[in-house]
Structure formats: C-alpha cells, structure tokens
Amino acid sequence: MDTIKIDELGLASPALFIASPNQDTRPSGTQITLAVIHNISLPPQQYGGDGVIELFTNRLDPEAHPYYAEIHQLKVSSHFFIRRDGSLIQFVPCSQRAWHAGVSSWQGQERCNDFSIGIELEGSDSDAFAAPQYAILNALLAALKLTYPITGVVGHSDIAPGRKTDPGPYFDWARVN
C-alpha cells in the first residue's frame, strides 16, 4: 500500500472499513489538527486476533478471556487500526469524532477527540512495533496531512500524561515522517 487517499467523507482507500457505533459528530466548525498514536492488543500482548475489532464494534465476549470481563462494556473506538503486518482497518470516518482519547488536552485545548484523528497500532508498551506498521503509518499520516490541517502528531501519553503510556517506550518516533 504505497498511497492512501482520503475521500470527502473521510474514508481512507484502500483501508478495510468496519463501522464502529462508538462515534458522533464533531463540534461545528472544528478543524482536524492533531493525529494521536496509540497502541492496543487484545488479549493484552497477543496479536492477530479479532479482539480489537470486537471491542470497537461492541461485540467483545466477556467470557472469551479474563481481561475482556473488565473491558467489554467500554464504548471506545479509533479512526484507524494498523495491524503488525501493515493491514489498515478504519472504524470511523475522519469527518466524525471517534472515542479514542478520553480525558485529554493538547496545547491548552481540552477534549482532543473533537479535533484529532486516532490511530491505533497493534502492539503494547513492552514490544517493538513492526516495520510494516511504520510504513503504513507514514503513508496514512501523509494522506491525512494532505486532507486536513494537521500540525501535530503525538502519542496518547502526550495528551493524557499520567493516565496513559501509549504508544509506549518501544515506539520509535524517529521512524515517523
């Protein structure tokens, strides 16, 4: 996937689109100026399954794994999810507000969900990310910057310090264009 294109609705091509109900309308007149990078794996530190998709679509079975019993009622989403093999899944159109940041602020602005794009990388705070993930992340960021006036690319830990640690110590910021 060399080139990613974002259409007028905020859908990325060639991403696989799986709609999440965990979204709503951005406040009127809000510009998208921030990209927030996260990490996620479900079950924790296990990769390749459907846990993230099930969480973001409110279909996580609380009996499938002990950790799921703690989180299955969360109403969360992200715009994008990049698997370790570089596969790109989109859950929320960029024009809509995904519920990824929670209580957050950036440069004096509260509620980062209002003005940001959430990008989840399949991973954890204790593992390095895969080369295909950086390649797709950079292609996605390039497409987003062509479409929206994005001026910042930050980690979840930057907008929710003390509450969040992702994308974690193994995320290599030097590999982000």
Residue 14 has pLDDT above 60, yes or no: yes
Detail the DSSP E strand segments found in 8-139. 12-13, 16-17, 23-25, 34-40, 80-82, 88-90, 96-98, 105-106, 109-110, 116-122
pLDDT in tens, 94-148: 999 999 999 999 999 999 999 999 999 999 999 999 999 999 999 999 999 999 9
Q: What is the mean pLDDT of residues 39-66?
A: 97
Bridge partners of residue 39, in order along the sequence:
121
Under 8 Å CB-to-CB from 175, ≥6 apart: which residues? Answer: 134, 138
Residue 1 has pLDDT above 70, yes or no: no
Upstream peptide bond of 149 is cis (omega within 30 degrees of 0)? no
Strands 96-98 and 23-25: antiparallel
Residues assigned a catalytic role: 120
* pLDDT at residue 161, as a whole number: 97
Name all domains of the chain by residue range, CATH numbers in brackets.
Answer: 5-168 (3.40.80.10)
Round to whole Å and give the CA distance between 173 and 177: 9
pTM of the model: 0.97
Under 8 Å CB-to-CB from 65, ≥6 apart: which residues? Answer: 42, 43, 51
Question: C-alpha angle with apex 61: 56 to 64, nearest 5 degrees?
Answer: 120
pLDDT in tens, 146-173: 999 999 999 999 999 999 999 999 999 9
